[in-house]
Structure formats: structure tokens, C-alpha cells
Amino acid sequence: MGKLEGKVAVITGGSSGLALASAKLFVQEGAHVFITGRRQSVLDEAVASIGRNVTGVQGDAANLDDLDRLFEIVRREKGSLDVVFASAGMAEPGRLGEITEAHFDTVFGLNTRGTVFTVQKALPLLNDGGSIIMTGSMVSVKGFPNWGVYSASKTALRSFARTWVSELKSRNIRVNVISPGQTATETHALDEEATRRMEAMIPRGYRGRPEEIASVALFLACNDSSYVNGVELFVDGGLTAV
């Protein structure tokens, strides 16, 4: 029996990258997964690659109407859910002195506001004893030039987790943040020189794979992590440790 046998999960941004790898693993472990993505063609490809026990819902996690439609589909098809993995996000550089309102609003609108309302709108459907996972980033504790707004948008998620574990304790709902380091995905493509420089900073010596992040997401989603609550778990090859 799989670690998520009979469970229902929602993964926003699940049409690509580490979220897609997580959706595939959740299904392998017995879950039915609802994934979202903004581009229908990419979403359709993701659904086809997962193959079974998956529902694709086109939408933008920064759009509250799209979130309402997502959870109405979940309610209609499954009635409730057990795991909310708020993984939709974006990274865009912006140096102090050059930051625009549009840049700030776009980054915080998806990474922070979108995460808050994804979780809030899921709550009426989330079963007691369920798991909430948010995708943060190791930049929440590192100071990389040009990435101040992005870093702040992800740092906020750690604060939400601290508060929500107290607010949801009567329902035994766990809340955790998974914060990946540099991961080799299509949205984080680097040229050979940039890859060499980045990997020289990572104690393990090379970037992560989406499947490695997915295995940690599975841990936080299932009962293996039943006593893990309110943490920010860095999955970064040791980069934040040095």
C-alpha cells in the first residue's frame, strides 16, 4: 500500500518542475492529485505524463476566481482533500533602486498572496489531520544581490507556518515549508559557466533534481512526518549550512 493510498492532494503549479515531480510521486503512492497551471497546453502535457489519478485545472494561483473554481472542482469530484501543496511561484530579479511597483506586486502577488489564499480557500475541504506544504526557497536565509523582493516573498511563508500551526492545532493539521536550493528544472536553466559557479557553492557539489525535492514533499505529506510541524525544511545540498 502506498504512503498516500486513498488520499486527495492539490498541487498548485503542478504542471512543471519540482511540483510536477511531486505530483507523479504522490500518484505512485496512491493519491489522486489535482494540479494547476496557467498554460493549458503545458498542463495537458503534465496530465498525460502522470497518466492516471490526476485532474488538471487551468488557472493562476494569484487569481482568486481561479482558486475558487479549483476548489469547487475538488469539492464536486472528491468532496474533501488531505494534502494542500501550495507550490505555484515565480522568481524575477530586481535590484534595490530599480524595483518597480509592477515587479513587487507580481512577485508578492503569486508567491505570497497566492499562497495565503490557496491555503485559506482549501481549508473548508481539508480533512482534520491533513497536511499543508508551502514551497519556500533557501534564499529566505541567504542574501543574494538582485533577489531582495523574491527572497522576502518566500521568507513570509515561514512566518505563516509559525502562526498557522497554532491556529489549526485543534484540527491536527500540520503546516510545513519546503525550501529547495538550486534545482535543475526547465525554469532554472543555467549555462555551463553559471552551473559550474553555482555547484561550486553547494557542499554536495551539484544541483538538486526535481525528484529529490519530490521525495521530501512526500515525506511532509504522509504520516512519516506526523511529528513534524511548523518547520522550514531546507533541501539544498547544504548551501544554507555554509
Q: List Cβ neighbours of 144 (8 Å cut-off, separation of 6 or more).
A: 151
Distance of CA 104 to the CA centre of its chain: 20
Residue 2 domain-assigned (yes or no)? no
Residue 242 domain-assigned (yes or no)? no
Cα separation, 98 vs 28, whole angstroms? 45
Active-site residue 227, yes or no?
no
Q: What DSSP state is assigned to residue 55?
A: E
The pLDDT score that the predictor gives to residue 190 is 63
Whole-structure pTM value: 0.94
Distance of CA 207 to the CA centre of its chain: 18
Residue 89 domain-assigned (yes or no)? yes
Cα separation, 136 vs 213, whole angstroms? 12
What pLDDT, in 10s, does the model give residues 115-164?
A: 999 999 999 999 999 999 999 999 989 888 999 999 999 999 999 999 99
Residue 183: pLDDT above 90?
no
Domain CATH code at residue 135? 3.40.50.720
Residue 1 domain-assigned (yes or no)? no
The pLDDT score that the predictor gives to residue 188 is 57
Residue 186: pLDDT above 90?
no
The domain containing residue 110 runs over which residues?
Answer: 8-235
Cα separation, 99 vs 105, whole angstroms? 10
Number of domains in the chain: 1
Whether the CB-CB separation of 213 and 22 falls below 8 Å is answered with: yes
**Closest Cα to residue 186, out of 39, 27, 25, 51?**
39
What pLDDT, in 10s, does the model give residues 52-90?
A: 999 999 999 999 999 999 999 999 999 999 999 999 999
Residue 80 domain-assigned (yes or no)? yes
CA atoms within 13 A on the CB side of 67: 23
Cα separation, 181 vs 159, whole angstroms? 19
Residue spans of beta strands (DSSP E) within the chain: 8-11, 32-37, 54-58, 81-86, 126-135, 174-180, 232-235
Choose the catalytic residue: 34, 150, 164, 234.
150
What pLDDT, in 10s, does the model give residues 81-103?
A: 999 999 999 999 999 999 999 99
Cα separation, 119 vs 32, whole angstroms? 18
Residue 42 domain-assigned (yes or no)? yes
Residue 241 domain-assigned (yes or no)? no
Residue 136 domain-assigned (yes or no)? yes
Cα separation, 33 vs 50, whole angstroms? 10
